[in-house]
């Protein structure tokens, strides 16, 4: 059985399908009484619709095959029929048609067989159209993508052309660029030489500046020495005696000043001696006060120690009083126990023997004589 579902279509279904697919305009009479030309034309149209046959190939003859025959002009029509028969047979074999076609179905077609073959081909056409409907969105998307690809390829080609133009421009400008690079290298060498020259000039300028600074210092020193010399000269000129009377008056004034200075010195010496005596008295008083202070410290320490000893004595006294109370309570307990023991001993002796007792000076019972019964 065929892998495709192609039930045998009725004549009306065949006519409707042929009309819907715009394959051919066929009447019911044509299907009832098919002719060789009608069947050949109909098969050709169906194969063209199914893309199994190119429309340009219809009516063409393989001249290479005709040349191998003795009378090729007698076989032109038969060659076309054989070619169509092979195409139809291949198509029916592809759709696994259960009914085998033969060359007689083209030369002397029968209505039932022709309808069966056409039904098989049209059923495949229906199946093909249904599948094409499913993949049509993808095909449209593929077409859009193909169009975009073509546009991108055009852009790439344009960019490649621009790149080629740029490369050509680079090649054209290469000698000029090389010349510029040579000039730049030469200028770099000149700049390096000028930089070295500038460094040497800068070093020379620094040396000259140092010399100028040294000369400025020397000039300043010379000016200072000159000013000092002028001042000394003026002082020496001022010391030159112009008049003996003036010199005598100046000497008298200096003597008076010297006498006043000596008096002030004597007064200051006396005041110093008085201050020294007062300081000595203060030192002696300070020593006595220091000695008294040390003695007071010792006394304070002794008083503190005495207070501490007194506190310890009071604590020990309180402890002794507490221990005395405890001792008295213990002594009372001991006396009580001795009394109990003596009474028990006396009762025991009285019970088992006759004993003679006497009292000592402390009023204690003393054993004197025993007599057993």
- The pLDDT mean for the chain works out to 76
| pLDDT value, residue 70 | 52
Q: Is 292 helix (H, G, I), strand (E, B) or coil?
A: helix
**What are the pLDDT digits (tens) for 41-100?**
888 888 888 877 776 655 554 545 445 545 545 444 666 777 778 888 888 888 878 788
First-to-last CA distance in the chain? 155
**What are the pLDDT digits (tens) for 181-224?**
888 988 898 898 888 888 888 888 888 888 888 888 888 888 88
- Mean pLDDT of all residues in 219-235: 82
**How crowded is residue 69: how many other Cβ atoms within 10 Å of its Cβ?**
13
- Mean pLDDT of all residues in 256-279: 82
User: 116 Cβ partners below 8 Å, 6+ apart?
Assistant: 8, 99
Is the pLDDT confidence value at 373 over 80? Answer: no
| pLDDT value, residue 118 | 83
- Tell me the pLDDT band of 356, cut-offs 50, 70 and 90: very low
| pLDDT value, residue 242 | 54
- Tell me the pLDDT band of 304, cut-offs 50, 70 and 90: confident
Smallest Cα–Cα separation from 121: which of 218, 21, 188?
Answer: 21
pTM for the whole thing? 0.35
- Mean pLDDT of all residues in 132-150: 84
Sort strands 354-359 and 365-371 into parallel, antiparallel or unpaired.
Answer: antiparallel
CATH architecture label of 11-148: Orthogonal Bundle (1.10)
| pLDDT value, residue 349 | 58
User: 296 Cβ partners below 8 Å, 6+ apart?
Assistant: none
| pLDDT value, residue 15 | 82
**How crowded is residue 11: how many other Cβ atoms within 10 Å of its Cβ?**
17
Smallest Cα–Cα separation from 24: which of 39, 35, 8, 6?
Answer: 39
Beta bridge mates, 370? 355
- Tell me the pLDDT band of 368, cut-offs 50, 70 and 90: very low
Q: Is 57 helix (H, G, I), strand (E, B) or coil?
A: helix
The CA distance from 8 to 164, in Å, is: 65
The CA distance from 89 to 108, in Å, is: 16
* Phi, psi values for residue 369, rounded to 5°: -155, 145
- Mean pLDDT of all residues in 332-341: 78
| pLDDT value, residue 333 | 80
- Mean pLDDT of all residues in 304-315: 81
CA atoms within 13 A on the CB side of 186: 6
């Amino acid at each position: 059985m065929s892998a495709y579902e192609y039930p045998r279509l009725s004549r009306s279904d065949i006519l409707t399908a042929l009309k819907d697919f715009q394959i051919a305009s066929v009447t019911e009479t044509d299907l009832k009484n098919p002719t060789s030309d009608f069947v050949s034309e109909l098969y050709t149209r169906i194969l063209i619709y199914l893309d199994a046959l190119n429309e340009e190939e219809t009516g063409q003859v393989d001249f290479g095959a005709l040349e191998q025959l003795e009378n090729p002009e007698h076989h032109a029509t038969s060659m076309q029929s054989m070619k169509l028969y092979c195409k139809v047979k291949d198509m029916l074999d592809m759709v696994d048609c259960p009914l085998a076609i033969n060359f007689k179905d083209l030369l002397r077609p029968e209505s039932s067989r022709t309808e069966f073959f056409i039904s098989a081909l049209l059923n495949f056409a229906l199946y093909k159209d249904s599948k094409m409907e499913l993949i049509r969105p993808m095909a449209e998307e593929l077409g859009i993508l193909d169009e975009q690809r073509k546009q991108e390829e055009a852009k790439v080609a344009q960019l490649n052309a621009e790149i080629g133009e740029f490369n050509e421009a680079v090649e054209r400008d290469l000698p000029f660029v090389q010349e510029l690079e040579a000039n730049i290298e030469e200028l770099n060498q000149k700049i390096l030489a000028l930089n070295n020259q500038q460094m040497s000039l800068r070093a020379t300028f620094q040396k000259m500046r140092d010399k100028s600074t040294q000369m400025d210092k020397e000039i300043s020193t010379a000016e200072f020495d000159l000013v000092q010399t002028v001042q000394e000269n003026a002082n020496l000129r001022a010391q030159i005696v112009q008049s003996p009377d003036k010199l005598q008056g100046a000497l008298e004034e200096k003597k008076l000043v010297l006498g006043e200075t000596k008096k002030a010195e004597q007064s200051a010496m006396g005041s110093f001696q008085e201050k020294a005596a007062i300081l000595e008295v203060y030192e002696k008083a300070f020593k006595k006060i220091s000695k008294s202070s040390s003695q007071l410290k010792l006394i304070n320490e002794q008083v503190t120690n005495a207070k501490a000893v007194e506190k310890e004595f009071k604590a020990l006294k309180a402890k002794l009083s507490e221990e005395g109370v405890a001792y008295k309570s213990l002594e009372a307990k001991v006396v009580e126990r001795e009394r109990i023991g003596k009474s028990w001993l006396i009762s025991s002796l009285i019970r088992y023997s006759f004993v003679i007792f006497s009292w000592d000076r402390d009023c204690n019972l003393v054993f004197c004589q025993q007599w057993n019964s």
